[in-house]
Amino acid sequence: MRANARLIGVADGFQLWAKRFDRSAADALLINDEAAAAIAQALTVHFTAKPRAAPTDPQAIDLYLRASHELAKFWRSDVARAVELYEEALAHAPNDPTILSGCARARVRLAFFGGENSKTLLELAREAAERAVSGAPDHGESWAALAAALFMGGDPPGAVRAVRTALSRAPGLAHAQELLGRILLEVGEVDEAAVRLRTALSIDPSVLSPRWELVRMHGLLREWTHADALLALPAEGPSGRMSKFLYRSRFSVWRGEDHPDLDDPPPLGPEFGALSRRDEFREMVRTRELGDAFREALENAAQAADPGSRRRVLFCQLNAEIFGYAFEVDSAIASVKDAVDAGLLDGLWMDRCPVLDAVRKDARFEPLRAEVEARGRRVRSAFAET
């Protein structure tokens, strides 16, 4: 395999530096590290990342690359396929930190979607990440995988420490920058979070999940022009189209107005809860009233998610928003409490979500907010550690 890199001066267009990298197919994954170190040196940037021990088995490399491609698609069926491919790769290279890290991240993502084996998946993800860290403690990917497992497992401070370690080893890890940005956004460190999320997008524009976090951030800050501009950008593939639809559905509640895109939703299964009931959802947006079947769908979606999971937290948040939109303060408070009991960290959402204005005035809200703020302080303290 051969990769050619050139460094071009922006001011005058002249080539400042060039280098060719040749590697056998067995060492294909090492080209990234060699190129990164050489380019950093050409830019006189301090670069201390140590070379990783990349897999050399040709079949393991092929499976790893295919798995990574599927994981980038981000949706449930794609991530499930990614887990299968990573596990096949591990059969060829069972102790390889690169493959273990990828497999851990894929298992974490699949666990988020829920299901009977989600807890087992999360346990296996943490085990794989810990093995990766043990085998390659200087490998940023290993620490990033551990951070993802810790965050999904309900240890945000531990996740922050792990992701900071990952970025100290490999600042160019887009998914690590994104994870840190997402956590910081929830605990109210908006400016730093925005920098991290935009950095993730600049490193790898093909991965859209940081964009959706920025969309949510602008919506919470009621910066609708910025949110709409990001939603208007192209987003190919089922995951991109689905994410656009879900945020426009959510924003229709936040803003109290319908959107034409809601007329033609992508196929939504029952795992999407009330959002899969298109006609009833749109009627609720127009009338601010909840039908019995729609109300039952809200409750079932939240209860179906694993207790203490990020998925349970998300559905409780969505329920609180819909109840708040319908002026049902008691039900909204109950949903916020359910979210807090499930591990809610998102203080920014509690402070800024547009449809919770009336809920925030209720005396029952403040103790819940105080509990989430205590969690946020622990995360900010972990981030401040050197």
**Spans of all domains in the chain:** 2-42, 48-171, 172-234, 236-383
- In angstroms, the CA 236 to CA 74 distance is 12
Give the pairing type, strands 15-22 and 2-8. antiparallel
SS percent in the chain: helix, strand, coil, step 5? 70, 5, 25
DSSP H/E element including 29: none
Q: Is-same-fold flag (48-171; 172-234)?
A: yes
DSSP 25: G
Per-residue burial over 100-126, b = 16 or more CB atoms within 10 Å of its CB, e = otherwise: bbbbbbbbbbbbbbbbeebeebbebbb
In single-letter form, the type of residue at position 142 comes to S
CA-CA-CA-CA torsion sign (18, 65, 213, 284): positive
pLDDT tens series, the chain, 386 aa:
888 888 887 777 777 788 888 888 777 777 777 887 787 777 765 555 555 556 678 899 899 999 999 998 878 889 999 999 999 999 999 999 999 999 999 999 999 988 778 999 999 999 999 999 999 999 999 999 999 999 999 999 999 999 999 999 988 899 999 999 999 999 999 999 999 999 999 888 888 999 999 999 999 999 999 999 999 999 888 788 888 989 999 999 999 988 787 777 777 776 677 777 888 888 899 999 998 888 988 888 888 888 889 999 999 999 999 999 999 999 999 999 999 999 999 999 999 999 999 999 999 999 999 999 999 999 999 999 96
CA separation, residue 260 to residues 15, 43, 282 (Å): 48, 48, 11
Cβ–Cβ under 8 Å, residues 302 and 310? no
Q: How much is the pLDDT for 54?
A: 61
DSSP code per residue over 249-270: HHHHHHHT---GGGGSPPP--G
What number does CATH give the domain 48-171?
A: 1.25.40.10
377 CB-side CA count, 13 A? 6
CB atoms within 10 A of CB 80: 15
Instruction: Give the residue among 355, 258, 339, 343 at the shortest CA–CA distance from 302.
Output: 339
Per residue in 41-50, is it b (16+ CB within 10 Å) or e — as a string?
A: eeeeeeeebe
Asked if 202 and 178 count as a contact pair (C-beta separation under 8 A), the reply is no
Does residue 385 contact residue 346 with C-beta atoms inside 8 Å?
no
- Candidates 373, 303, 367; CA nearest to 338 is 303
339 contacts 347 by C-beta, under 8 angstroms: no
Please tell me whether residue 224 adopts helix, strand or coil conformation. helix
pLDDT of residue 47: 55
For 325, the enclosing helix (H) or strand (E) is helix 310-325
**Fold that domain 172-234 belongs to in CATH:** 1.25.40
- Please report how many Cα atoms fall inside a 13 Å half-sphere around the Cα of residue 320, on the Cβ side: 25
Alpha-carbon distance of 121 to 41, in angstroms, equals 40
20, containing H or E segment: strand 15-22
| Confidence (pTM) | 0.87
Instruction: Supply the Cα-derived Rg of the chain in whole angstroms.
Output: 22
Distance CA 242, CA 7 (A): 37
